[in-house]
Structure 1
Amino acid sequence: MTSEDREVDAPARTPPIAPEDAPASFDADEDDPTWYLNRELGELSFHHRVLHEALDDRNPLLERAKFLAIFTGNVDEFFMKRVGGLKQQIDAGVTAPSPDGRTPREQWSAVLSRASDLFEIQDRCFAEAVRPALADAGIEILDHGDLREAERRGLRSYFEESVLPTLTPLTFDPAGSFPFISNLSLSVAVLTRDGPDGDLRFSRVKVPPNRPRLVPVADVTDGVADPDEAGADGASGDARRFVFLEDVLCANLDLLFPNVEVVDAAAFRVTRNAEVGRNEDVAEGLIETIEDVIRQRRFATVVRLELDADAHPFVREVLLDQLDLSEAEVYERSGPIGQKFCFSLADADRPDLQLPAWTPQPHPRLADVDPDDPAALFAEIRADDLLVHHPYHSFAGTVQAFLSAAASDPDVLAIKATIYRTAPDSSVIRTLIDAASRGKQVAVVVELQARFDEENNLRWVKRLEEEGIHVAYGTVGLKTHAKTALVVRQEADAVRLYSHVATGNYHSETAKTYTDLGLLTADRAVGRDLVKLFNFFTGHARHTEYEKLLVAPENLRDAFVRLVRREADRARAGREARIVAKMNSLEDPAMVRELYAASRAGVDIDLVVRGICRLRPGVEGLSETVSVSSVVGRFLEHSRIFYFHNAGNPDYYVGSADWMTRNLDRRVEAVAPVEDPELRRDLDAVLRTLLADNRKRWVMDAEGAYERRRPADGEAEFVAHDALMSLARGDVMRESLADYER
């Protein structure tokens, strides 16, 4: 690690994204590529900010370990999706530059180099910071050679009885085919030979994923504790001494390769392209198409090789040759390869090494609603709109309660919902099935092309169809990314429509760690808009006019452009003008240009962008009034909030869309206005709280580098997520949060 990474009191800063020769002031056309930051490097910058949570020794130790695992998963997906896509473009001969002027090959080269720096930081963080600190806390991760002889004997017995029978060594015969290596599977390359003059032979042994990666070691001489009693990854229970399974395997290779010389053994892992076979314009036979995509991924092009830094040169030679890789795609790892095992460490029963546990709270307006009286819940929504904020508010007590009430209420006629991602054991899906069994009309739009959730969604499609539920798979050429539900209820005076428009998926597990917002409303105009939207999903109808909802690809882009330009017009007229936009990514060049124009007109703009941001803030003559922040902490910021000052009569919106070209033009998205004054104040408190964070908030400069905020001398530390938890518990009033101004 650099001294900056070791010394947490020094300013934390990520590398710049803009080229070194990018101008420092505006004197060119806005289409000039120097005014746009690179998307891929921007995403890696976000992963660097995530990794910094593991570097920061002010975080509890097991929280730091958790972020090593999160970083691993994030970058695995980045290579599968983004690097895989770049490699496809290169192979197809694509040379068209990105908005920042880089060709696919230039981007590919730049991200491979930047990723190498991040892997080095991660390995040093584990080896020099997290692992020693774990040992000091009584959680030792040992090398096999550090074990006592009795422990090695016990582990050998465990290996022989519980691991060896599951292994299938595959030796490569140059006259035959190379062993297949599955995506992200941890393997050991073993070099053997018959005697000192024999030829080297390469074998691949897959480390079994259904055995604990961290094997608990009992301090006894007659064996080890049963690793299966320690949980799936061996990091719970009473055991506090561990050794890596691959180390146990390598120490006992004589049992797998008897009567030959084992010359070397080295761990490695390959990452394959996940962008194969995707054609979102195909609707006919979509289930078969998605099943084929899943099959193709198993054999897709390798885009990364992680290899033990001490591996024999012959291992490297064989793998590069047989996997058709360049040297740039090989990452020598000095630490354990694939650090998702740190999730199991983070789950250990050590509250002294963890953040205080958080339990999502009941929504104050739903806490006293009788769950056995569904009419009471609908009466509460009918009285006033509700805004739910996860994980501060309980998913089970809000969204799940809304759907459960609809399923059990005899007056409900129909339920419609969109499913982009949901839990493998989904209470939402089970509720919809229950509703159908009670005679209600149920229609579900399941997006089969939700990347990496295709298999899960396919299973639910088949189950829903077996229950006689109307299932739609989305629309031709468009992904369905909207997060919406509609309940149609017969009441004494009329048929009423109850709507849920949200920023997050109907996923009970991610609702515990992703920050998302949802609007529950009986607004008839919003309900009518959702009726149109669901008819678009399931029938041959394409509505272009909506009363209140902003719907992509129909009116959402034009609406946001109009709202930004209105603020610019007000600023030119000398009136107060302000935009605050919170999203996951700001990638669309046209929206970046609109924000540049608004800034030049004098609009005060605060952007809270978790990940990718193409816009360069603080550039003289171009974006001097724009600030860009990114909050990275215990929860993943996932909500989208849009605020436009509108001469003191502000507009607020929440919904599923980021300002990315795909969200604005190639996906079905839904964004709803928030009109209730009380709920607007809630949104205002959330935005102010995020912008006041002086511990977990990073601020971008004009070169795309991020610097983490720190309390000024004499200033109290303020963490947005902690403050919002306190607000949900009722420890502080919303008005007190609003006192924190940027």
Structure 2
Amino acid sequence: MTEQTTPPDFLPDLDQPDHYVNRELSMLRFNLRVLEQAMDERHPLMERLNFLLIFSSNMDEFFEIRVAGLHNQLLRRSSVGVYTGPDAMHPLEVLKIISRVVHEAVARQYHILNEVLLPALAQEGVQFLRRDHWTREQEAWVKRYFREQIYPVLTPIALDPAHPFPRLVNKSLNFIVPLEGKDAFGRQSGLAIVPAPRSLPRLIRIPDDICNDGYDNFIFLSSMIHAHVSDLFPGMKATGCYQFRVTRNADMELDEDVEDLASALKGGLLRRRYGEEVRLEVADNCPRHLVDYLLKKFELDEEDLYEVNGPVNLARMFTDVKRPRLRYPAFTPRVPARLKSHDSLFECIDDGDVLLHHPFESFSPVVNLLAEAARDPNVLAIKQTLYRTGTTSEILDHLEAAARNGKEVTAIVELRARFDEASNIEGARRLQEAGAIVVYGVVGYKTHSKMMLVIRRDQHGGIRRYAHLGTGNYHTKTAKLYTDYGLFTANEAICQDVHKIFLELTGMGKAARLKQLMHSPFTLHSGILDLIHFETQEALAGRPARIVAKMNSLTEPEVMKALYRASQAGVSIDLVIRGMCCLRPGVAGLSDNIRVRSIIGRFLEHTRVHYFYHGGEERVLLSSADWMERNLINRVETCFPINDKKLKQRIIEDLELYLEDNTQAWQMQGDGSYERVESDGSAPVSAQQLLLERLS
């Protein structure tokens, strides 16, 4: 048999736009899959409600970033042209599709809330009481609560020449109130705006002794304000009270020539609250002339208007109900026996690599390694990247302690982690005050890699390095909600590579030559392409070839083209992609050998895992990066190998579980749509549930 060394001549033109899915529309489809979890009766009832609220939160960000970005492209078209991805769709066309799809989705969302979930919750003893259902005792309690807790902090704004339409904060809850009569100054405004302070809860629980029915009873803040809005305008009559909320552009673009990134970001955070308007949500019973008035004030069009049958700020509806049967069963993440069998984590890592799979296995060993390093007199230095840590963080506590104990602590704090900028600025300040060296990475390149390096003097007086590398953030809360891998290793080559990357980030010089790791923006993109190309050549030569990759998003054009070529050559390709996927799988003559699935379940899938058969060598890599332009080209990312054979096999088995899942999986179709994977009578397989049973 003659070996082929080039792809077949019949390969289609891989630059054709119809070979690719628009990235914003692909992200929108992911959010629709999240919404459908609210109808999945395999989830406990309160968890179904949470999925509905997560959809709201996701859509807020979608408009703040994605839709706002499309508007910006249109605004800049005269000077720099309109950016289009490989799908070549014009932003205006994408915006029209988004408006149509989201209007349908929002209607479905509120139908699920009002007609499915709220009645089902009421049957389970959880009630959200409407104003027309309040008892006399409840009305009296609401009146008292309003007077004592709400009225003192409200600031109604009458609209007249001395009180122009207020500049309202992004996503804030507001009410437009038509008025009759004159006030104490003889003014007859006819209209007022009542902002609801963010300090007020959006849901208020009624004390049990008021209802005395054994239910968990809640009332919306909006209902309380509506019931007593006339109290805000003495001597006048409020003839209506209608909720509305405006969503603004929340993306921040900073000049790369700024002298002080932290100061520039603080200014950007203030501007974010008042960015350009991109969406108006308003109660569906609001009179049309008031809707038109708001649209005009915000300079929005009809397609930007969303009239909703319920609270306009569903993302604030999360509540803690103490009814265990309505929630997922509690579980305790496991600490691997190997880690518990050693008095010191350093001794354990000396005995071999340790792999953790969160949230099934505990994140506490990562925190404990820092704690041990902070107090160990033999530890000389700690280096760590921090992308998202949270406002209260044990990680920061131990880094502070280490610095105060005289360790050389270097923290690469990425201030530009979207929506975590403020907490990261505060974390950087804390570390600096403790005496740590804090740098903000490289201007123009977000530092998204997840690395920790501990330098320790061993018992013989030599220097020993210990590294932790992960696919997720050093954030103890999300480690309980996101699936991620973390690797502890003392492998000298890996630790040396990590050390070189830290030197790149804190100093200056040419790109480091690494032995084990690939890193962007230097070698990761080309390295992934080389690995795909190797499988392509193996398939063309008639040898077994396989790729399995799991990630959050796939959008990078060159990687997609390489996968298309590999498919044409006969490589078997399975992709598990939670969110955006711009590649079209299963298209005859283009991607016959590519399958794409998305897993949506209890935990947010966040692991980035790459498997290549590689001539039987079976290379397994973990990464902080998705296969996106931003990760492979415009960020600092790491991709590291799993060398231990047992750990490698364990990850391969995990991947196979996700490919067998027939309860939480969605299969992507060639047109970019998704269909739910059904068990068809076979035994149900849930990758997350099986991992939970095996590891926790």
SS at match of 2:464: strand
Is 1:675 aligned to residue 643 of structure 2?
yes
CA deviations on 1:51-87 (whole Å, 9 max, x unpaired) are: 1111112321011011112111111111111111111
SS in 2 for 1:699: strand
Where do 5+ consecutive residues of structure 2 fail to align?
1-9
Task: Give, in whole Å, the separation in 1 of the partners of 2:195 and 2:336.
Answer: 48
1:219 shift after superposition: 6.8
Q: Could you say which residue in structure 1 is the equivalent of 2:7?
A: none
Matched residue SS, 1:725: helix
- Other structure's SS at 1:416 match: strand
Residue 45 (str. 1) matches residue 7 (str. 2): no
Contact in 2 for aligned 1:377/1:402 (Cα 8 Å): yes
What code does the residue aligned with 2:52 have?
L
CA distance in 2, matches of 1:211, 1:405: 41
- The yes-or-no answer on 1:61 pairing with 2:36 is no
Deviates more, 1:672-681 or 1:153-162: 153-162
1:386 to 354, 374, 385: 354
Residue 195 (structure 2) aligns with: 206
Q: Distance in 1 between matches of 2:369 and 2:153?
A: 46
Q: Residue 352 of structure 1 corresponds to which residue in structure 2?
A: 325
Q: CA deviation at 1:224?
A: 7.9
Partner of 1:71: 55
Normalising by structure 2, we get a TM-score of: 0.95
Aligned twin of 2:683: 716
Deviation at 1:175, TM superposition (A): 6.5
Of 398, 401, 410, 1:431 maps to 398
1:157 to 144, 147, 155: 144
Q: What TM-score does the superposition give when structure 1 sets the normalisation length?
A: 0.89
Q: Distance in 2 between matches of 1:314 and 1:260?
A: 21
Residue in 1 that maps onto 2:478:
510
Instruction: State the shift of 1:367 in Å.
Output: 2.5
Residue 182 of structure 1 pairs with residue 169 of structure 2: yes
How many residue pairs end up in the alignment? 679
* Cα distance in structure 2, aligned partners of 1:219 and 1:526: 59
Looking at structure 2, the residues matched to 283 and 385 of structure 1 have their Cα atoms a distance apart, in angstroms, of: 42
Q: Answer whether contact 1:134 1:140 (CA < 8 A) is retained.
A: yes
Query: What displacement does 1:27 show?
Result: 7.4
Say if 2:11 and 2:568, in contact at 8 Å, map to a contact too: no
Cα gap change, 1:200/1:404 in structure 2, threshold over 3 Å: closer, same or farther? same
For 2:659 and 2:373, locate their aligned partners in 1 and report how far apart those are by CA, in whole Å.
38
Q: CA deviation at 1:258?
A: 2.2
Aligned pairs (5 A) from 1:486-501: 486-493=453-460, 494-501=462-469
Cα deviation code 1:328-353 (max 9, x no counterpart): 11101112222124421xx3110111
Partner of 2:4: none
Q: Which amino acid letter does the alignment assign opposite residue 610 of structure 1? A: R
Aligned partner of 1:125 among 112, 128, 144: 112
CA distance in 1 between partners of 2:149 and 2:126 (Å) = 24
Q: Distance in 2 between matches of 1:699 and 1:391?
A: 25
1:155–1:224 Cα contact (<8 Å) kept: no
Structure-2 residue corresponding to 1:9: none
1:530 pairs with 2:530: no
1:100 maps to a residue whose letter is D
CA distance in 2, matches of 1:395, 1:502: 11
Q: Does 1:217 align with 2:206?
A: yes
Residue in structure 2 matched with residue 445 of structure 1 by the alignment: 412
> Counterpart in 1 of 2:374?
407
Task: Mark the CA change 1:453 to 1:219 in structure 2 (over 3 Å): closer, same or farther.
Answer: closer
Bigger mean CA offset, 577-586 vs 715-724: 715-724
What is the deviation of 1:562?
Answer: 0.4
Query: What is the aligned partner in structure 2 of residue 251 from structure 1?
Result: 227
Please say if residues 123 and 336 of structure 1, whose CA atoms lie closer than 8 Å, have aligned partners that are also in contact: no
Is 1:329 matched up with 2:304?
A: yes
Alignment partner, residue 22 of structure 1: none
- Call closer, same or farther: CA 1:711–1:33 in 2, change over 3 Å: same
Change (3 A) 1:407 1:90: same
User: What is the CA–CA distance in structure 2 between the aligned matches of 1:671 and 1:724, rounded to whole Å?
Assistant: 24
d(CA) in 2 for partners of 1:601, 1:586: 21
| Structure 1 residues 70-89: aligned runs within 5 Å | 70-89=54-73
CA distance in 2, matches of 1:299, 1:340: 20
2:284 to 284, 309, 320: 309
Aligned to 1:272: 248
Give the alignment partner of residue 96 of structure 2, picking from 98, 102, 109: 109
1:567 is matched with which residue?
535
Q: CA deviation at 1:447?
A: 0.4
Q: CA deviation at 1:160?
A: 1.2
Q: CA deviation at 1:174?
A: 5.2
Instruction: Give the Cα–Cα distance (whole angstroms) in 2 for the partners of residues 329 and 550 of structure 1.
Output: 43
Who is 1:362 aligned against?
A: 335
CA distance in 2, matches of 1:427, 1:169: 42
Query: Deviation string for 1:668-706 (max 9, x for gaps)?
Result: 001101010010011011101111111001110101111
Name the % identity.
40
5 Å-filtered alignment, 1:679-690, equals: 679-690=647-658
Q: For residues 416-462 of structure 1, what are the alpha-carbon distances to aligned partners after superposition, in whole Å with 9 as ceiling and x for unaligned?
A: 00000002111001101111111111000000111111100111111
Provide, for residues 235-276 of structure 1, a one-character-per-residue CA deviation record: whole Å limited to 9, x for no partner: xx9761222111111111121122222122111111110124
Deviations 1:594-628 (A, max 9, x none): 00000000000000000000000000111000000
* 2:338 aligned counterpart, secondary structure: coil
State how far apart, in whole Å, the 2-side matches of 1:132 and 1:278 are: 47
Contact 1:392 1:725 survives alignment (8 Å): yes
1:712 to 1:330, Cα distance in 2 relative to 1, 3 A? same
In 2, the alpha carbon distance for the partners of 1:96 and 1:176 equals: 41
In structure 2, relative to structure 1, the CA distance for the partners of 1:73 and 1:496 (3 Å cut) is same
Say if 1:567 and 1:268 are closer, same or farther in 2 by CA, change over 3 A: same
In structure 2, relative to structure 1, the CA distance for the partners of 1:244 and 1:283 (3 Å cut) is same
* Equivalent residues of 1:578, 1:604 under 8 A apart: yes
- AA aligned to 1:425 is T
Aligned-partner Cα distance in 1 for 2:285–2:45: 28
Distance 1:238 1:656, change over 3 A: farther
1:649 alignment counterpart: 617
Query: Relative to structure 2, which stretch is displaced further, 480-489 or 403-412?
Result: 403-412
Partner SS, residue 318 of structure 2: helix
Distance in structure 2 (CA, Å) of the matches to 1:128 and 1:30: 46
SS at match of 1:288: helix
C-alpha distance in structure 1 between counterparts of 2:198 and 2:188, whole Å: 31
CA distance in 2, matches of 1:316, 1:200: 18
Q: Report matched runs for 1:473-622 at 5 Å.
A: 473-493=440-460, 494-622=462-590
Task: Report if aligned partners of 2:76, 2:82 keep a CA contact under 8 Å in 1.
Answer: no
Look up the equivalent residue of 2:405 and give its one-letter code: R
Q: Counterparts of 1:114 and 1:44 in 2: how far apart (Å)?
A: 9
**Residues in 2 aligned to 1:339 and 1:127: alpha-carbon distance in whole angstroms:** 12
Residues 500 and 512, structure 2, Cα contact 8 Å, conserved in 1: no
Q: Which whole-Å CA distance do the structure 2 matches of 1:175 and 1:99 have between them?
A: 51
Name the amino acid aligned to 1:119. Answer: V
Q: Which residue of 2 aligns with 1:422?
A: 389
Residues 199 and 30 (structure 1), Cα distance of their counterparts in 2 relative to 1, 3 Å cut: farther
Query: Helix, strand or coil for the counterpart of 1:89?
Result: helix
SS of 2:455 mapped into structure 1: strand
Check whether the contact 1:549–1:673 (CA below 8 A) recurs between aligned residues.
yes
